[in-house]
Amino acid sequence: MNNFFDRNKPSMMFDKVLEILIILMHELRQGKDRIDQGTLQALEVQGYTKTEISAAFSWLVDRMNALPDQDTLTTAPTDRAFRVLHFAEMNVLTPEAQGYLIQLREMNILTPRLVEMVIERCMTQGSPVDITMLRSVVSGILFHNQALAMMGHRFVIGGDETIH
């Protein structure tokens, strides 16, 4: 059986971009009205490449453009629906993974539809999905869908650029 997750494989290439998004969203939620040069330098010092940082910013810009006028990335999601996990879903997602999923939704990184896609993908595993595996699922879904939707736009990473 071909398992979507291979614990011995390195993480998907967009995992680092997702990490940067979480850092940037945290900065914006802390009341910063913009990301300054110091934040960019701190990201580079932490080992993120300029390409990874650029991809994260491209995603943020595209996400802002897709939001309704009254919404911003730093406000709570306008869809106040509360998703309760089924007992079977709670058995597949570890408590840490459940918390991570909630965090991504509250940060407006995932929409309700994307949360459902992530949960469905995890449920196909039949084995516990920890936070590392969940990051790979989220980045795969988030950036694959974004790349397809934005084909020909700025969210493009060339074959000669390195993403760790």
* pLDDT tens for each residue of 81-119: 678 999 999 999 999 999 999 999 988 889 889 999 999
Give whichever of 17-21, 66-70, 73-77, 147-151 has the largest mean pLDDT.
Answer: 17-21
| Of 10 and 46, the one with more pLDDT | 46
Whether the model pTM is above 0.75: no
Query: SS3 for the chain, per residue?
Result: CCCCCCCCCCCCCCHHHHHHHHHHHHHHHCCCCCCCHHHHHHHHHCCCCHHHHHHHHHHHHHHHHHCCCCCCCCCCCCCCCCCCCCHHHHHHECHHHHHHHHHHHHCCCCCHHHHHHHHHHHHCCCCCECHHHHHHHHHHHHHHHHHHHCCCCCCCCCCCCCCC
